[in-house]
A = this chain, B = another copy of it.
Amino acid sequence: MSTYEYLLTHEIKPSQQRICLMEFLLKHRIHPTAEEVYSRLSPSMPTLSKTTVYNTLKLFVQKGAAQMLTIDERNACFDADITKHAHFLCKECGKVYDLHEVPSHWQQLPEDTLGHLIDEVQLYYRGTCRKCAEKQAKKKLKPTK
Q: Tell me how many chains of this kind the complex includes.
A: 2
Quick one: CB contact mask for A96-112 with B, threshold 8 Å, 1 for yes? 01010111011001101
Distance from A55 Cβ to chain B, minimum over Cβ atoms (Å): 15
Scan A105-134; emit 1 where CB is below 8 A from any B CB, else 0: 110011011111111111111111110010
- Asked if B117 contacts A127 (CB within 8 A), the reply is yes
Interface membership of A38, Cβ < 8 A: no
Per the bound structure, the CA–CA distance linking A126 and B126 in Å amounts to 20
Q: Report the bound CA distance from A113 to B86 in whole Å.
A: 11
Residues of B within 8 A of A110 (CB): 86, 99, 101-103
Q: Among B102, B115, B127, point to the contact of A130 (Cβ < 8 A).
A: B115
* CA gap between A123 and B123 in the complex, in Å: 5
29 A-B pairs (CB sep. < 8 Å): A70-B70, A70-B71, A73-B76, A88-B116, A99-B113, A101-B110, A101-B113, A103-B105, A103-B110, A105-B105, A105-B106, A106-B123, A109-B125, A113-B125, A114-B130, A115-B129, A115-B130, A116-B125, A116-B130, A117-B127, A117-B133, A118-B126, A119-B126, A119-B127, A120-B125, A121-B125, A122-B124, A123-B123, A124-B124
